[in-house]
Amino acid sequence: MSLCFSVSESAFNLRYGFRGSEPMGQSLKIRVKTRTRKGFCPSKVVCVDYPRPDIDNTSNFLEAAYLSSSFRTSPRPSKPLKVVIAGAGLAGLSTAKYLADAGHKPLLLEARDVLGGKIAAWKDGDGDWYETGLHIFFGAYPNIQNLFGELGINDRLQWKEHSMIFAMPNKPGEFSRFDFPEVLPAPLNGILAILRNNEMLTWPEKVKFAIGLLPAIIGGQAYVEAQDGLTVQEWMRKQGVPDRVTTEVFIAMSKALNFINPDELSMQCILIALNRFLQEKQGSKMAFLDGNPPERLCLPIVEHIQSLGGEVRLNSRVQKIELNDDGTVKNFLLTNGNVIDGDAYVFATPVDILELQLPENWKEMAYFKRLEKLVGVPVINIHIWFDRKLKNTYDHLLFSRSPLLSVYADMSLTCKEYYNPNQSMLELVFAPAEEWISCSDSEIIDATMKELAKLFPDEISADQSKAKIVKYHVVETPRSVYKTIPNCEPCRPLQRSPVEGFYLAGDYTKQKYLASMEGAVLSGKLCAQAIVQDYVLLAARGKGRLAEASMCP
C-alpha cells in the first residue's frame, strides 16, 4: 500500500497550529483497554508488539536477498565510478547504498535539509515529530525487509496483529475486522479472513466477487498487466461484481494504495496488491517504524554509504542538467553555484521534478516524452494532538471509510517514540486531496474534525466540546506518488535511459511494486544494477574525458 511512498524534492507546504503544549510522556508501552459502548464490545487495545513474522524463506524475499548479495559479491572495480545522484528519498538512498556495496563511490545530493523525500519528518518546537505520510511496512515488501536486515535494524519495525480493521460508517464508532489465522497457509488464511467477516459483505457478494476474481487467479501476471486499461469500478462491473463490494471495500483500498477513488485507479494496482497479499501467508501483515523515518531508517542507510566511501550532501538542489555536445550529461549545476561532475548520473526525484529539469533536446525522445502521462497525486497528512487519551481505537492501522479520510492511526499507541499514556496523537491521511490542497489549514482541520466525530462519537465532536485539540500539523504534498490511472504502465521508464550515463530511480520507474516504499527501494536496486552492468562502458567514457582534458592547453 502506498501508505506511502518515497523519493525526494517534492514541494511540501508545512503548516501548523498551536493551542498550548503538553509533554509527550515516556517511551514505554502498556496495556490499555477500550471503553465499552452500550451494545458494542470492541477488542481491547493491547500495546504490545508481535514477533517478526516468518518471511525470510518466501520466494520473493529470497529473490530480493539474491539481488542484494549480487552487489556485495560483484568483482571490485579497478577504478570505482563516481555516481552523482539527485534526491535522497528511499529511491536515491537505495541506489547509493547498493552502488557502495558494489565498490563504487556515490555522491548523493538532497535539495532540502532533511533526508527521506516522501518519508521525511520534522521536529516541532515541543520536540514532537510530524511526518510527510503515514508509513506502513508490509510482510510483502521483500526488498525493504532485506534492507532492514542488511542494516541490522530489524528490531525497529513494530509488527502488529495480522488483521485489517475497517470503520463502519453506518455504525459510528464501531469496526469490522478481517483476521488472518496464523495456522493456515496462503491463500487459505486470506480466504478465511474474508469468509468470516459478515459485517461488510453478504455471502452472495462474496461469491460474485470470488467468481469475478477467478480470471486473475488463473491468468496470473499476464492477466493482471492486461487490466491496466480499466479502472477498478469498470473492472468490477465488467466482472459482474456488485457495486456495493466496491463501496464497502475498494474505496478504502484505492485511497490507501494511491490516494484516489476506484473510478480513477487502475485495476492493475488492486490486483497486484491482492496478488501479493494472497500469495504470501504474512504478506498483508503490517508493521510501523518505531520512530521518525529520517533518524530510524534513513540515517542508518547514510551511515552505511559513508562507511564505504560514499558521500551524502543536504541543501544541494540541482538547478540544471548541463550537457556535452553529444547530448550526454556534462555535470549537474546546483543552485548554490557548485558544479558536480561524475562518471554517471542518476535522477531519483519525483517524476514531476524530473520533467521540470529535462534538457530541451531530451524532451522529444520517446523515453522522456511518455513521462508526460505520469503525474503526482496530491495528498495531505495531518497530525492532531488531543488533550486526552482516546479509547475507541486500536494499536493498528485503521481504514476510516470516510469520504475525506483514507487511513489513520493513534501514533501514541502504535509507535514507541511517539508513545504517550495520557494523550492521543492521531495521524491521518486526507485523500483524495485535489480539491483541498489549496485550502487553509483551519478549513482542513475543521473538515477532519467532522469526520472524526463519526469515528469517535462518544469522545470527539466537531465543535471540540468533548476532546480538545492541543495542537496540529498539516503537511501538504501537491505532487506525491504518481497517479496510477489506466494506461500508465507503458509510460513507466526503465532505470537505464537512452542517454548514455544517465539513469532514473523512483517508484514511478519500471518495477513490480508500483507507487510504494517497496517500489522506491527496488527501483534503486535496479538502477544500481544497471550502472554496475554498464561499468566497462562508463569507465571507458571517463577515460575518454580525461584524455580530452589532458589535450587542452
Q: What HEC string does 312-348 produce?
A: EECCCCEEEEEECCCCCEEEEEECCCCEECCCEEEEC
Residue 541 placed within a domain = yes
Position 87 scores a pLDDT of 98
Residue 240 placed within a domain = yes
Residue 99 placed within a domain = yes
Residue 268 placed within a domain = yes
Q: What is the pLDDT along the chain (553 residues), one digit of tens a residue?
A: 444 433 333 334 444 343 333 322 223 333 333 333 334 344 445 567 899 999 999 999 999 999 999 999 999 999 999 999 999 999 999 999 999 999 999 999 999 999 999 999 999 999 999 999 999 999 999 999 999 999 999 999 999 999 999 999 999 999 999 999 999 999 899 989 999 999 999 999 999 999 998 898 788 888 998 999 999 999 999 999 999 999 999 999 999 999 999 999 999 999 999 888 888 999 999 999 999 999 999 999 999 999 999 999 999 999 999 999 999 999 999 999 999 999 999 999 999 999 999 999 999 999 999 999 999 999 999 999 999 999 999 999 999 999 999 999 999 999 999 999 999 999 999 999 999 999 999 999 999 999 999 999 999 999 999 999 999 999 999 999 999 999 999 999 999 999 999 999 999 999 998 899 999 999 999 999 999 999 999 999 866 665 554 444 5
Residue 36 placed within a domain = no
CATH number at residue 498: 3.50.50.60
Instruction: Verify that 225 and 294 share a domain, yes or no.
Output: no
Instruction: Verify that 273 and 321 share a domain, yes or no.
Output: no
Core vs surface per residue 399-414: b (16+ CB within 10 A) or e: bbbbebbbbbbbbbbb
Instruction: Verify that 101 and 243 share a domain, yes or no.
Output: no
Q: Which long-range contacts (CB under 8 A, 24 or more apart) does 172-178 make?
A: 172/454, 172/455, 172/457, 173/37, 173/40, 173/392, 173/455, 173/456, 173/457, 173/458, 174/37, 174/40, 174/42, 175/42, 175/394, 175/398, 176/200, 177/43
Enter the C-alpha cell of residue 169: 460508517
The DSSP string of 285-315 is -EEEESS-HIIIIIHHHHHHHHHTT-EEESS
Sort residue 303 into left (φ over 0), alpha (ψ -120 to 50) or beta.
Answer: alpha
Please say whether the dihedral angle defined by the alpha carbons of residues 438, 443, 445 and 450, taken in this order, is positive or negative.
Answer: negative
Instruction: Verify that 266 and 297 share a domain, yes or no.
Output: no
Enter the C-alpha cell of residue 393: 481505537
According to DSSP, the β-strands at 425-430 and 344-347 are unpaired
Position 545 scores a pLDDT of 64
Residue 72 placed within a domain = yes
Q: How many domains does the chain have?
A: 2
Enter the C-alpha cell of residue 236: 468490477
| Angle, CA of 147, 149 and 155, to the nearest 5° | 115
Residue 528 placed within a domain = yes
Instruction: Verify that 106 and 242 share a domain, yes or no.
Output: no
Residue 133 placed within a domain = no
Instruction: Verify that 271 and 318 share a domain, yes or no.
Output: no
Residue 491's CB: how many other CB atoms inside 10 A? 17
CB 54 within 8 A of CB 282: yes
Position 547 scores a pLDDT of 52
Enter the C-alpha cell of residue 538: 562508463
- Which residue, 240, 257, 279, sits at the end of a domain? 279
Tens digits of residue pLDDT in 169-206: 999 999 999 999 999 999 899 989 999 999 999 999 99
* Structural domain range at position 94: 59-119+290-374+484-550
Instruction: Verify that 369 and 490 share a domain, yes or no.
Output: yes
Indicate the residue type of 56.
Answer: D
| Angle, CA of 144, 150 and 155, to the nearest 5° | 75
